Amino acid sequence: MEPWRYFRTCPRCGCRPKAAPKEPLFHCDGCGFHYHFNPTLAVAVIVVRDDGRVLFVRRAKSPGKGKLGMPGGFVNFGESAENATRRETREEVGIELDDVRFFCSYINRYPYKGLTYLTLDLFFVARPRSNKARALEDVRSVCWLKPAEVRASGLAFTSMRKAWRRWLRERCAVRSD
């Protein structure tokens, strides 16, 4: 269910709207309050070692429990996407990143505890400072895989599958030049 459908009353004055919001905008007829619902920002990173292997995590929790994913998570208020990428990687696998570069973005739906968050997932590519990744927060296990070993269909989220396919295409195009 879209988040704007949960607004039953105005958060400013408590009035009930005449009709349920049908789009990502809440308008209160009582006090004129407007609230624009925007996507939640999330980040993920394709961490590539010098030998070409890529870091993946096996998710410990839903959504996507048990599936492969890239290190990542939600961007905090006051945090840049690059800093969120570094923080999430540190929290999930305990390594620092170098050369964090924006790669692409895709929209996604993130169902969690009865609410579906509409996210804008920002994907980055980076190099690890260390190859000693370990499973930490929300991660069951970690693995360094050759790109050919990873099937996009096995990744936890639609946006990750799209980013992974794109990275593979662009990586192959660069190598063939």
What's the whole-number mean pLDDT along residues 13-29? Answer: 83
Between 20 and 106, residue with greater pLDDT: 106
Query: What would the 3-class secondary structure string for the chain be?
Result: CCHHHHCCCCCCCCCCCCCCCCCCEEECCCCCCEEECCCEEEEEEEEECCCCCEEEEEECCCCCCCCEECCEEECCCCCCHHHHHHHHHHHHHCCCEEEEEEEEEEEEEEEECCEEEEEEEEEEEEEECCCCCCCCCCEEEEEEECHHHCCHHHECCHHHHHHHHHHHHHHHHHHHC
State the pLDDT at residue 35: 87
pLDDT at 177 over 70: no
The answer to whether residues 13 and 32 belong to one domain is: yes
What's the whole-number mean pLDDT along residues 53-63? Answer: 96
Residue numbers of the domain that contains 11: 1-38
The answer to whether residues 45 and 102 belong to one domain is: yes
Task: Please choose, from the candidates 61, 36, 48, 117, the residue with its C-alpha nearest in 3D space to the C-alpha of residue 89.
Answer: 48
Domain count, the chain: 2
Rg (C-alpha) for the chain, rounded Å, is 19
What's the whole-number mean pLDDT along residues 134-156? Answer: 96
CATH at 88:
3.90.79.10
Q: Which pLDDT band holds residue 89 (cuts at 50, 70, 90)?
A: very high
Where is average pLDDT lowest: 15-19, 75-79, 91-95?
A: 15-19
Q: Taking a C-beta distance cutoff of 8 angstroms, is the pair 70, 160 a contact?
A: yes
The answer to whether residues 95 and 135 belong to one domain is: yes
Q: Is residue 167 part of a domain?
A: no
What's the whole-number mean pLDDT along residues 146-155? Answer: 96
State the pLDDT at residue 175: 57
State the pLDDT at residue 2: 67
Q: Could you tell me the pTM of the whole model? A: 0.89
The answer to whether residues 119 and 99 belong to one domain is: yes
pLDDT at 145 over 70: yes
The answer to whether residues 54 and 3 belong to one domain is: no
